[in-house]
Chain A
């Protein structure tokens, strides 16, 4: 028993020292300093650049005020955790934070966020934001808690050169899932060295597998994940979506399961497979081209000549013909802020027309302000913006409940057992149904049909 607690002691002592420093720093000038917490990780440095520039502008405008930037260097899941831990204590809680639209509701429940209703009602630029984007920052009580920065959509990216070599007509316009699989099979027989189709799948990919992979399929069927406050179980759409995953991986139309289950496959797809022409079709996000821009981590000047996009079709071509999933991020005000007015000034400055636009361009975000999305400078900045903005019409949002993280995990487990051939789609769907009942309880599930 000696060594083990000693470990704990060192950790505890370190935590004390660290929080002690944090508290001391904050106590110096509480109302004159606002703390801004955001994510900075890997090739996502655009927000850091943006914040640094807004900080300079803000301090020039507000004499005597200091902005303390707190870039949190962590992957998405760890970012949520670190932000939540910061929010738990008044001495570390940020005044302004970069908040996922999808965490807004549960963080409002947790008491981490301050209502922005009185500020937006007096903000003349609020009308410029699209209604569905405003909706993304609303808490369960109907008040506004986050100002949207941008959004994203998902679709099929395909390599036009490989398509031409395989003899598939470009532009490619798949109408059903079958069309997608047929194209993948054509590529497989014509170009055996090329990976025909990548759909993120399995536990190692986490939310990327659920959202870019599974939900892009499920929301194109007659069924859905969550309906009227209850989680749907036993739906045919769920089994069919798993069936598609099985067709891709068991039918050898995708990467090998070993490749697909490597935690780093996302980086490999964007940085190697696509630029090197070894992947023909990729179901991925609107932000993908950000990697290939001059400011990205893998500049690829020819990307727009080689890569094109097609909307993800619905299962049998049913209305509205295509589907997509959207997320997005907001700036929110911490509930423990000591200077809400300054925090609001920072948020409204960071997301005014000019700043929203420069950020959306740099980070390949789909604009949520009408004055930005209609600005020719924005449209011309990235040739894929128009395509991805247009499919906002058919997009869906994830159920933003606090159980979602666990449900999402159960989905990736089901995907993984199908892709590796351990279970049939029916068996995996049944395991998922049981897992969902275990997570939310029988009373919060509903049988499909």
Chain B
């Protein structure tokens, strides 16, 4: 029992946190809701200042020529859509969007979610020792601070790093991963780092699937994969939505991992949008242009969230 206690506790917060407003909201009268909303005011103000503020500022900043140095640093002026026009004409930009999407789909949507769900399913039927060992091992990567995990991944994939040393032991002369396969390296690193989160979310969700339903399906003659596809997955779809959204948004904003491992290189082979934005804003001092890239990133994140909420709209259950 002890090993199952931590799992629901950690991911419980985001899952349940999304629930009350949806089920409770519509039934209240206007006055009661106004009075009841009053204590929320400080929270709303804080959200406005810290969440909405930066978003609006990002939109505004992307229409200026703000700069870190040079005459434009004295005071930014409004330049309309210049930054966006320049951005869409830049050959690095479509490549960067593509790399971002590849990174997102491969490492978050496929890698972290599928692997996380798989691990959670396997852990359910594993014995206590295996569960504790695997759990500890997977969660370690997630607990590490991002910069530490990034350096660990760099040391692992480096030309003379752990991976090639191990391959060397069995007589394989490994390639220089960070140089020849930069995207694969950062994708694997992000899967390694992020799977624990998905695993915890799914462990908690699977824990809530009533044993009786699975058992009756078994009695009705449903095979293993049928029980998974028709019973388990539909019952945890709410967790899937939440988890997809969280991992997508986290992965879209991954910067440290890629920056430390490849610096966006070689060339621009692993230059995702956050890396490109950093380079433009802080290495080329063009804050306005960098902000335009950040704004695009924001829009991509919003689009994905929208799709998830629409496609996997949690129906009444």
B68 A84 Cβ-Cβ under 8 A: yes
- CB contacts (< 8 Å) of A112 on chain B: these are 69, 73
Interface: A48 (CB within 8 A): no
Q: Would A262 and B159 be within 8 Å (CB), given that A1-B301, A2-B245, A6-B51 are in contact?
A: yes
- Please count how many residues in chain A sit with their CB below 8 Å of the partner chain's CB atoms: 43
B267 A416 Cβ-Cβ under 8 A: yes
Interface string of B232-271 (1 = CB under 8 A from A): 0000000000000110011011000000000101110000
Kindly name the residue among A6, A9, A202, A257 whose own CB sees the greatest number of chain B CB atoms within 10 A: A9
Interface string of B14-50 (1 = CB under 8 A from A): 1000100000000000000000000000000011001
Q: Would A81 and B282 be within 8 Å (CB), given that A5-B55, A106-B69, A258-B179 are in contact?
A: yes
A261 B73 Cβ-Cβ under 8 A: no
Interface majority SS (helix, strand, loop, mixed), chain A: helix
A81 B68 Cβ-Cβ under 8 A: yes
Among the stretches A115-123, A144-152, A401-409, the one at the interface with B is A401-409
- CB contacts (< 8 Å) of A259 on chain B: these are 159
Please give me the residue from chain A that is nearest to B89 by CB atom. A438
B70 A261 Cβ-Cβ under 8 A: no
- CB contacts (< 8 Å) of B179 on chain A: these are 257-258, 261
B73 A9 Cβ-Cβ under 8 A: no
Q: Would A4 and B301 be within 8 Å (CB), given that A81-B282, A109-B69, A406-B284 are in contact?
A: yes
Interface: B305 (CB within 8 A): yes
Instruction: For the complex, give the distance between the alpha carbons of A12 and B48 in Å.
Output: 12
Interface: B176 (CB within 8 A): yes
- Please count how many residues in chain B sit with their CB below 8 Å of the partner chain's CB atoms: 42
A405 B285 Cβ-Cβ under 8 A: yes
- CB contacts (< 8 Å) of A81 on chain B: these are 68, 282-283, 285
Interface string of B53-87 (1 = CB under 8 A from A): 11100000000000111111110000000000000
Interface: B302 (CB within 8 A): yes
Tell me, rounded to whole Å, the shortest Cβ–Cβ distance linking A59 to chain B.
32
Total number of residue pairs linking A and B with CB closer than 8 Å: 114
Instruction: For the complex, give the distance between the alpha carbons of A111 and B73 in Å.
Output: 8
Interface majority SS (helix, strand, loop, mixed), chain B: helix
Instruction: For the complex, give the distance between the alpha carbons of A2 and B15 in Å.
Output: 12
Kindly name the residue among B263, B265, B267 whose own CB sees the greatest number of chain A CB atoms within 10 A: B267
B263 A88 Cβ-Cβ under 8 A: no
A4 B252 Cβ-Cβ under 8 A: yes
Instruction: For the complex, give the distance between the alpha carbons of A8 and B282 in Å.
Output: 18
- CB contacts (< 8 Å) of B18 on chain A: these are 2
Please give me the residue from chain A that is nearest to B264 by CB atom. A203
Tell me which residues from 1 to 45 in chain A have a Cβ below 8 Å from any Cβ of chain B: 1-9, 12-13
- CB contacts (< 8 Å) of B73 on chain A: these are 84, 88, 109-112
Q: Within the complex, which residue of B74, B250, B267 is in contact with A110, where a contact is CB–CB below 8 Å?
A: B74
- CB contacts (< 8 Å) of B159 on chain A: these are 258-259, 262
Instruction: For the complex, give the distance between the alpha carbons of A405 and B90 in Å.
Output: 17
Interface: A413 (CB within 8 A): yes
Instruction: For the complex, give the distance between the alpha carbons of A436 and B305 in Å.
Output: 38
- CB contacts (< 8 Å) of A84 on chain B: these are 68-69, 73, 285
B68 A1 Cβ-Cβ under 8 A: no
B69 A4 Cβ-Cβ under 8 A: no
B285 A204 Cβ-Cβ under 8 A: no
Interface: A77 (CB within 8 A): yes
Instruction: For the complex, give the distance between the alpha carbons of A114 and B138 in Å.
Output: 55
Q: Would A203 and B265 be within 8 Å (CB), given that A109-B70, A110-B69, A402-B70 are in contact?
A: yes
A-B contact pairs, 28 of them (CB 8 A): A2-B14, A4-B301, A5-B52, A5-B54, A5-B55, A9-B46, A9-B51, A9-B54, A77-B283, A84-B69, A84-B73, A84-B285, A85-B68, A109-B69, A109-B71, A110-B68, A110-B73, A110-B74, A111-B73, A204-B265, A257-B179, A261-B179, A402-B70, A405-B284, A405-B285, A413-B267, A416-B266, A420-B266
Chain A interface residues toward B at CB < 8 A: 1-9, 12-13, 77-78, 80-81, 84-85, 88, 103, 106-107, 109-112, 202-204, 257-259, 261-263, 402, 405-406, 409, 413, 416-417, 420, 438
Given contacts A3-B250, A4-B250, A257-B179, 16 further A-B contacts (CB under 8 A): A4-B249, A5-B50, A5-B51, A5-B55, A9-B51, A109-B69, A110-B68, A112-B69, A202-B266, A204-B265, A258-B180, A259-B159, A261-B179, A262-B159, A263-B263, A409-B284
